[in-house]
Structure 1
Amino acid sequence: MGRLSATAVKAAKEPGRYGDGDGLYLVISSKGGKSWVCRIQKNGRRRDIGLGSAKTVSLVLARQRAGKARMQVEAGLDPIAERRKEAGIPTFREAALKVYAENEATWKNRKHRGQWLATLESYAFPVIGDISIADLDGHHVREVIAPIWLPKQETARRVRQRISAVVDWSIGKGYRNLPLPVAAMDKSLPKVKSKSVHHAALPYVEVPAFVAYLRSGNSLGRLAFVGLILTAARSGEIRCATWDEVDLDNALWTIPATRMKAGREHVVPLSQPALDIFIRAHKYRELRSNLVFPGLRTGKPLSDMTLTKICRDAGIAAVPHGFRSSFRDWVAEETEFDGDIAEMALAHAIASKVEAAYRRGNLLEKRRVLMDAWGTYCIPKKQTDEMRPDSL
């Protein structure tokens, strides 16, 4: 039997705590507000759990809620988290799965789709998966990030970014009001030396010699690699090119928006050396595939590893994507071409006003002149004359 009565609860006015027994207290604030609190202690840890206002929660109901909370704690459950579940507020794990389900179809990169959920399953769910999304705070996220902050900084950054995305989604759904205190959380983590992450690139002065090396042998991988360099394309763009994208008569390669990183169609004017690559690729054309550079497996393109292995076999400290940087450096240091033209040749976004101005002019022709110059730089005429007829 509790020590309090309904009459005593109603009559109490002085600020303070009034114990009913078994950890249940009536708390009266300095302003006269009355609320119920259940104090629970387990494994040396004491915790006060709010049970509601005395205006709406009777003494009998407060005792029932206190008893339920004690049983949940004994069972290893979090009473507040359980209450959130009952109210329809998801845990972080449940919220993350919903965010993934809603966005999966919009993520074009298959690797990103797989990694997005996998990183949360590996690092976040074991620590914060069962915490209500409404209760998740900076110190919770820090517990996830801290162990991998120094040894796996890039992974830690991506996990933090994905946790923040789930929190932002929950704000939009009305499950919580505030975002994570990211700035404060970052300051609590050890400082690391900041360094720019770049794709290893070959100095542009060495590109012609590497192209000559590629053309000294016959393989579909080498042919695709030369095409990648001459068009300043990304690996996935050249490897997955299809014949319906290529207009040999007008020397144009139109990459659809669905295959572009920025989600916008990109038209590549083909220099004569680049056009020759696509013409020579006809010898590899197969009825079973519409791919310009088919891989060994039916219907599959060349693998990214095929191009990477070519770099390794050549003994150069560069990766396929790095040749875009080689192209950009060449434009900046060896030519008078406008930097914005080079950025558009790389399918990078530029200021909308600048882009609009170029589009009013003859943008494609400006880029064609640029790509012709790059093609001539990569494959000088004297080098072409020295190459054997059946070379790439």
Structure 2
Amino acid sequence: MGKLTSTKVKAAKPGKGADGQPTKQILVDGEGLMLVVAPTGARNWMLRIKVDGKRRDIGLGSVDDGAGANAFAAGDKRLDDTPLMLRKRLTLAEAREKAAALRKLAKAGGDPVTERDRERVKVPTFAQAMKDAHEALKSGWSDKTAKAFLASLEEYAVPKLGGMRVDLIDGANVIAALAPIWTDKPVMARKVRSRIGQVLAFAKARGWRRDALPDARELRTGLAKQDQGKNFAAMPFAEVPAFLAGELGKDATASRFAVLFTILTAARSGEVRNATWEQIDLEARTWTRPASMMKMAKGHVVTLSDAAVALLERWNPDKALRTGLMFAGVKGGPLSDMSLTKALRTAGRVETVHGFRSAFRDWAAERMPTIPAMVAEMALAHKVGTATEQAYLRSDLRDMRRALMEAWGRFAAPSLSGVAENVTSLRTAATS
């Protein structure tokens, strides 16, 4: 039982200093709860406890002794329905209750100040939290990623989650948002799931959410099984030489030659469609791609094989005209992704342009066993190794990549490489 009584609280006055002036007086109730009377006569409750081994003095609110304008008639229902943790005026009984709750939380390893202030924070809706997360995080993203983040969530998540407070969104709510696109648009659905998670994680970091994020396994359990055909359709690497030979015998169009250059460099479609002549050094046989056009947002130098160089010289033999986009569309801008796909369909192929990267990787694994796998991954501009390995690996293995890409060019396009037949001396290429 505490030492204070309602009568003592009501009668509490400031102390007096040696000079007779009012001073702060502290009256102890027990278990860390104290009544602090300021020199002005203001009375406030304070809780003194240890949190993580350190003393903390936590203000609980001012004294409500039932006097003055805030008094209530005996037996009346309190007009203040504010939760206990948010009340700014507390009776002795309420102060003890609030102090007990915070002590219990501290003993359990929690932060009593966070608990005291938790409900003071105005929790935003998912739509607002999404915008706040986008604004805070976009500086670390490319423009394309930032735009895709907002566009996908506004289209697929906001209709179901937009008006909900972020602290109330659970797995069932996320499942309801994803269900309409989960099997029809599996790739987009997985991106939306990830981005919803980003928004909720951001909300948790800002103190708007206390519960754990919806578990990925829980979400999968509540959604239909997706088609497992997630990989890009790829042409078997053994068929690549015949395909290139057939395409080289046709009219030279921007989309057709863009596909061929994509194959010979194992590049991504977007990287080729946005490539400029200024990035190409035919004498050094390199294609220097800036970070702005790379998926990993890191600049990358591609080594050009004899076949790739010959293809570019055939496409544009006039050096004076080698400026701007290498493969411009009809209106002068970059080719669309669909234009490259159309070139494949015209050739009677059902694979994707991106799938040629897989064909290159399979070829490297099967036909170039003396070249480390890391070299092929670097040629694809993939991140390789652990963080520690990356810290120590300062070389871009350019000489080994050049040998690998030269061998690929000889295999895929022997006519452009000056090889009479489709026979590649792998040992020579690997060790040259």
Distance in 2 (alpha carbons) for counterparts of 1:255 and 1:128 = 40
CA contact (8 A) 1:142 1:185 kept: no
CA contact (8 A) 1:251 1:271 kept: yes
Distance in 2 (alpha carbons) for counterparts of 1:342 and 1:123 = 37
Partner of 2:174: 141
Matched letter for residue 74 of structure 2 = T
Partner of 2:360: 327
Q: Give SS of 1:268's match.
A: strand
Q: Give SS of 1:8's match.
A: coil
Partner of 1:99: 133
Distance in 1 (alpha carbons) for counterparts of 2:155 and 2:192 = 10
Partner of 1:155: 188
Partner of 2:14: none
2:273 to 236, 239, 242: 239
What is the CA-CA distance between 1:329 and the residue it aligns to?
Answer: 0.4
What is the CA-CA distance between 1:159 and the residue it aligns to?
Answer: 2.3
Distance in 2 (alpha carbons) for counterparts of 1:207 and 1:177 = 54
1:169 to 169, 178, 202: 202
Matched letter for residue 375 of structure 1 = G
CA contact (8 A) 1:285 1:292 kept: no
2:408 to 359, 362, 374: 374
Unmatched tracts of structure 2, length 5 or more:
1-71, 91-117, 422-432
2:325 to 281, 285, 291: 291
Distance in 2 (alpha carbons) for counterparts of 1:235 and 1:109 = 18
Distance in 2 (alpha carbons) for counterparts of 1:246 and 1:128 = 47
| Change in 2 beyond 3 A, CA 1:244/1:157 | same
- Paired residues for 1:1-392 under 5 Å: 6-8=73-75, 36=81, 51-53=82-84, 56=87, 88-104=122-138, 106-108=140-142, 110=144, 112-183=145-216, 185-186=218-219, 188-192=221-225, 195=228, 197-217=230-250, 218-283=252-317, 290-298=324-332, 300-336=333-369, 337-352=371-386, 359=394, 363-381=397-415
Greater relative contact order (CA < 8 Å, ≥ 6 in sequence): 1
Rg (Cα) greater in structure: 2
Unmatched tracts of structure 1, length 5 or more:
10-19, 27-34, 37-50, 60-83, 388-392
Of 113-122 and 350-359, deviating more is 350-359
Partner of 1:16: none
What is the CA-CA distance between 1:150 and the residue it aligns to?
Answer: 3.9
Percent identity of equivalent pairs: 38
| Change in 2 beyond 3 A, CA 1:102/1:323 | same
What is the CA-CA distance between 1:124 and the residue it aligns to?
Answer: 2.4
What is the CA-CA distance between 1:313 and the residue it aligns to?
Answer: 0.7
Query: Normalising by structure 2, what TM-score?
Result: 0.65
Matched letter for residue 360 of structure 2 = F
What is the CA-CA distance between 1:282 and the residue it aligns to?
Answer: 3.0
| Change in 2 beyond 3 A, CA 1:152/1:270 | closer
Query: Normalising by structure 1, what TM-score?
Result: 0.71
Distance in 1 (alpha carbons) for counterparts of 2:186 and 2:139 = 28
Matched letter for residue 291 of structure 2 = A
CA contact (8 A) 1:293 1:302 kept: yes
Distance in 2 (alpha carbons) for counterparts of 1:146 and 1:86 = 34
CA contact (8 A) 1:253 1:269 kept: yes
CA contact (8 A) 2:171 2:219 kept: no
| Change in 2 beyond 3 A, CA 1:257/1:56 | closer
Distance in 2 (alpha carbons) for counterparts of 1:6 and 1:164 = 51
| Change in 2 beyond 3 A, CA 1:136/1:54 | closer
Cα RMSD for the two superposed structures: 3.4
Matched letter for residue 231 of structure 1 = T
Distance in 2 (alpha carbons) for counterparts of 1:382 and 1:301 = 25
Of 112-121 and 198-207, deviating more is 112-121
Partner of 1:29: none
Q: Give SS of 2:340's match.
A: helix
